[in-house]
A and B are shown apart, each in its own frame.
Chain A
Amino acid sequence: MLITYREAIRQALRELLKDPTVFLMGEDIGAYGGAFAVTKGFLEEYGPARVIDTPISESGLVSAAIGAGMAGAHPVVEVMTINFTLLAFDALVNHAAKIHGMSGGRVDVPLILRTVTGSGNQLGAQHSQNIEGHYAMVPGLKVLAPATPADAKGLLLSALYEPNPVFIAEHFALYNTKGEVEEGRTFVPINKANVLRAGADVTLIAYSRMAIVCLHAAELLAQDGIAAEVLDMRTLRPLDLETIFTSIAKTHYAVMVEETGKGTSIGGSLIAEVQEQIFDALHGPIRWVAGLPVPVPYNKTLERETIPSAESIARAARELVNA
C-alpha cells in the first residue's frame, strides 16, 4: 500500500504495542497527539498506561526508560526533536551505551528512542540540528535514520527484537512523503545499507532526507548521461561498509552527502574507512558534499544555502566523474 512515512511509523508502533512489555513515553505524545502527530489518537486507543505523557525532563525520562528496560519492559521513547536529546546525552552515552559492556554482558538495555532530526524550516540554530552522527560515534548504541516509509516501518519493527538501545532519527521533512509499504509485520535488518537506485558511474552515499535528495541528483546526472548509484546507509551504527565497498568497487567514484555541517557527523569516518580499505578501487578523491558548519541561521535564504541541494550534489559528482 502507498502510505506516508508518518503512517508507516504509526503502523509499526501499533505492531510494537501488541507486545505487552511495550509502552510509549514522551512529551506531548498523549493529549496533544505528538508534536509531529505521529501518536495522534493513541492515548484514547491504548490508555495512559501504554501512552505516557511525561514532564519536560529529557534527562530523567530517558534514564527512566533505561531503568524500565533493565527491569524487562521495552520502552519506546519519543524525544520531541533531536535537539532535546542533548539533555539526555548523559543518559544515552554514559549509561545506556555502557551498561551491557560494563556488566560483562550480563545486563541488557532494551530501549527504543525515536526522535526527529533535520534543518530547513527556519527554526533557528537550536532547533535545526542533525546530530544523529554524534550518537553514531558511541559504541553500545545503534543508530538508525530511515529515508523511506518502508524503512521507517521495517527498522522500527526490527528494533523490538534488539536487546540494545536503539536511537532512531526520523526526519521532519519526510513525514508526509509517500512510499510503498507492505502490510503487517515487515522487517528491515539493523545492519544493512540499501541501494535506492542502481548505477555504474558514481556512488552517492547518504541517509535520511539526503538519500531522497540524492535520488533527485541522480535524475539530474542521468540527463548528462551519468548513471549514479544511490546508496542509503539506513543504519549509521553499525555501518554497512560491505555494501558501500561493493558499490564503490563497481563505480570507482563516490560522493558522500550529509545534511549537517561538514565534519560534524559520520561522513568523515566513512570516507576514512573507504580510503584505508579500498583505496585502489577509487579513480578519484571521494567528494564530500555537506552542510555548512555554522549555527544554522534563521533567515530563509541563508538557511537554504547551509544545506546541500540536488544541484550541488550533481555538480560535485559531475566534476568528479569528468575530471
Chain B
Amino acid sequence: MDRELSLRAYHQMALIRLFEDKAGEQYGRGKIGGFLHLYIGEEACAVGAIAALRHEDYVITHYRDHGHALAKGCSARAVMAELYGKRTGVSKGLGGSMHLFCPENRLMGGYAIVGGHIPIGTGLALGIRHLGQDLVCVVFFGDGAVNEGEFHEALNMASVWKLPVVFFCENNLYAMGTAITRTSAVTEVYRRAEAYAMPGQRVDGMDVEAVYRATREAVARARGGSGPTLLEAMTYRFKGHSMADAVTYRSRDEEAGWRPRDPLPLFRERLLADGRATEEELAAIEQAVKAEVEDAVRFAEASPEPTMEDVLTSVYAPCRACSE
C-alpha cells in the first residue's frame, strides 16, 4: 500500500476498533438491543479487502457487518444510529446491527441467515455481467457458512459462468461456540475452491496489506473476465460471538496466543518502522477517530425514532402496476 492508502486503511481500522468498543459499551447501557456481533480483531479483513475495490463495486456480507459498512464508506453516524434503532440509521432503524444496508456505497446488506447471502453475491455478479458493467462483487462470510449448501451452489454457479465475484471467508476458527475442526471435514476453507475449479488462497487476515494484495489480485481476475476466487483470511474475533456469549469453549491460552497478532498495533508499528507515517500523524488519526465516534454517538442519541408509517410503507416498493 502506498502512503496515502496506508493512512486511510489505518484510519478505517482505528475507526472500526473504537466504534466497536463504543457499541459494546452502549449495548451494556441498554442503548442498543438485539444481537450485537463485534468485529474486534478482524478489522484487517474488511479494510484490506475493500481497499482493493472501487467505490462502485458491490459488497454483501453477514451479520457481523459493522466493519464492512464503515470500510465501504458508510458514516459512523448512520451506522451508530442504526444500532440505536433511529430513523437516521442506514436502514432507518428498521434493520438493526445485523442488517446494515447502504446502497449508495454499494453495501447491499448484512444478512442473519448463515450462508443465505452467498448466492445473492453470485447473483449481484450475474447482474453486473448481464448489464455489461465493469464491476465486481465481494461476498464476506464466516467459516461456519461454508457448510451450508448455498456456499457450494454459489461457488459452482459463479465458476461455471465465470462471474466477477470474490468469495471472502473470514475464518476466525469458530462458528458461535463450535470450533471449525469439530464440524468441517476440510478445515482449510480455501481448498474447497478446487472442487469448483477456481483459484483458492489462504491469507493472513491479521495483516491488512496481505489481505489487500490477495484481494487486489482476485478483483483483477474477476474484472478481467477470468471468474471468481475463494479467499480465506485467517483471523480471530477477540470478543465473544455476540454480547451474550461467555466464551467458555476456547482456552485463555489460545486467546493470549492471538493477542500479539492484533492487526492494529502490527500495522501501526510497520508504518512507523518503514517511515510511511510519523508518530504524530498516527496520533492525529487516533484523535480524529475518537472525535468521529463520539460525534456518532451524539448524533444517534439526538436522532428521531422511525414511525409505524415507515414500517408499513417499507414492506413493498411502490407499486407501478396497480390501479388506484
A interface residue numbers (CB < 8 A to B):
27-28, 30-33, 35, 53-60, 83-84, 86-87, 121-127, 292-295, 297-302, 305-306
Contacts and interface: CB of A to CB of B under 8 A. Distances in A.
B33 interface: yes
A301 B147 CA distance: 36
Given A87-B116, A294-B314, 16 more contacts: A32-B177, A55-B147, A56-B115, A60-B149, A121-B33, A123-B34, A124-B98, A125-B99, A126-B99, A127-B35, A127-B112, A294-B311, A294-B312, A297-B306, A302-B308, A302-B311
What are the 9 tightest A-B residue pairs by CB atom distance, in nearest-first order? Answer: A32-B177, A298-B96, A55-B147, A122-B33, A122-B34, A299-B85, A55-B183, A297-B94, A126-B112
Given A31-B177, A32-B178, A84-B113, A298 B311 contact: no
Contacts of B176: 27-28, 32, 35
20 contacts: A28-B177, A31-B177, A32-B177, A32-B178, A53-B182, A55-B183, A56-B145, A58-B148, A123-B34, A124-B35, A126-B111, A294-B315, A297-B306, A298-B95, A299-B306, A300-B33, A301-B305, A302-B305, A302-B310, A305-B308
B67 interface: no
Contacts, number: 123
A64 to B, nearest CB: 13
Given A55-B183, A122-B34, A124-B96, A302 B306 contact: yes
Contacts of B315: 293-295
A298 B99 contact: yes
Contacts of A126: 98-99, 111-113
Nearest to B33: A122
Contacts of B243: none
A298 B56 CA distance: 28
Contacts of A292: 311-312
A53 B182 CA distance: 8
Interface in B94-109: 94-99
Most buried by A among B96, B144, B183: B96
Contact of B112 (A55, A122, A124, A300): A124
B282 interface: no
What bracket does the count of chain B residues touching chain A fall in? Answer: 35 or more
Nearest to B35: A123
Nearest to B85: A299
Contacts of A33: 177
Interface string B258-282: 0000000000000000000000000
Interface in B174-210: 175-179, 182-184
Contacts of A294: 311-312, 314-315
B261 to A, nearest CB: 24
Contacts of B177: 28, 31-33
B114 interface: yes
B119 interface: no
B181 to A, nearest CB: 11
B93 interface: yes
Given A28-B177, A126-B99, A298-B95, A57 B148 contact: yes
Nearest to A305: B308
Contacts of B306: 297, 299, 302
Nearest to B94: A297
Nearest to A298: B96
A157 to B, nearest CB: 28
A127 B93 CA distance: 16
A298 B94 contact: yes
Interface string B201-238: 00000000000000000000000000000000000000
A252 B182 CA distance: 57
B85 A298 contact: yes
B174 to A, nearest CB: 10
Contacts of B116: 87
Interface in B19-60: 33-35
Nearest to B315: A294
B242 to A, nearest CB: 10
B94 A299 contact: yes
A122 B33 CA distance: 6
